[in-house]
Amino acid sequence: MMLFISGYVTVSAQAKTKVKSNSYNLLLKKLLNHQVPEITVDSLTTIVHEVVLLDAREPDEFEVSHIENATLVGYNNFNIDSLKVTNKNTPIVVYCSVGYRSGKITEKLIENGFVNVQNLYGGIFEWKNRNNKVVDKNGITNDVHPYSKSWGIWLKKGNKVYKK
């Protein structure tokens, strides 16, 4: 079943959202609660310039790289009152490393009345694994912060940089 929110394709919680790796998909199916709208990397690539991207990782992760035009909102110190988005109908995609933290931030946004918000299934790891570009303060980079060595096994492409 596909849901359409303001013209954007959203994968419903009942759908079998996929990432490239079957083992990564199995992990995500168990890790994520799938109670918020999810968007695949493939779907996001077609609308990436039409949505507000919120990065739910921490500042050291964001500094290594992020999806172009993303705004850091963090996870540990997320403050909905500091969001610059005031129109609650604005299409928003939230991402983190794999989708867990961004799923929690997506829940908070929905609880606060945002109606067109989605979680990026597979996060920045799947974004990079699918050969999409990431940037840092100097422009395009191949570096990605893998959160930790145990989570870094899911990042198959790019340079793993734990601190910069």
What are 144's strand-pairing partners? Answer: 160
Q: What span, in angstroms and rounded, lies between the C-alpha atoms of 99 and 31?
A: 9
DSSP string across 38-105: EE-HHHHHHHGGGSEEEE-S-HHHHHH-B-TT-EE--STT--GGG-S---TTS-EEEE-SSSHHHHHH
Q: What span, in angstroms and rounded, lies between the C-alpha atoms of 92 and 110?
A: 11
State the pLDDT at residue 17.
53
| Tens-place pLDDT, residues 29-53 | 888 888 899 999 999 999 999 999 9
| Tens-place pLDDT, residues 84-97 | 998 999 999 999 99
146 vs 163, which has greater pLDDT? 146
Pair type for strands 159-160 and 143-144? parallel
State the pLDDT at residue 61.
97
pLDDT at 148 over 60: yes
pLDDT at 7 over 60: no
State the pLDDT at residue 106.
97
pLDDT at 8 over 70: no
**pTM for the structure as a whole:** 0.87
pLDDT at 9 over 60: no
Q: What span, in angstroms and rounded, lies between the C-alpha atoms of 48 and 139?
A: 17
Q: What span, in angstroms and rounded, lies between the C-alpha atoms of 139 and 39?
A: 25
CATH assignment of 2-13+21-160, among 3.40.250.10, 3.40.50.10860, 3.40.50.2000, 3.60.15.10: 3.40.250.10
Q: Where are the domains of the chain?
A: 2-13+21-160
15 vs 27, which has greater pLDDT? 27
Among the listed residues 1, 3, 2, the one whose alpha carbon sits nearest the alpha carbon of residue 115: 3
Mean pLDDT of the chain: 89
Q: What span, in angstroms and rounded, lies between the C-alpha atoms of 52 and 118?
A: 10
State the pLDDT at residue 164.
61
State the pLDDT at residue 26.
85
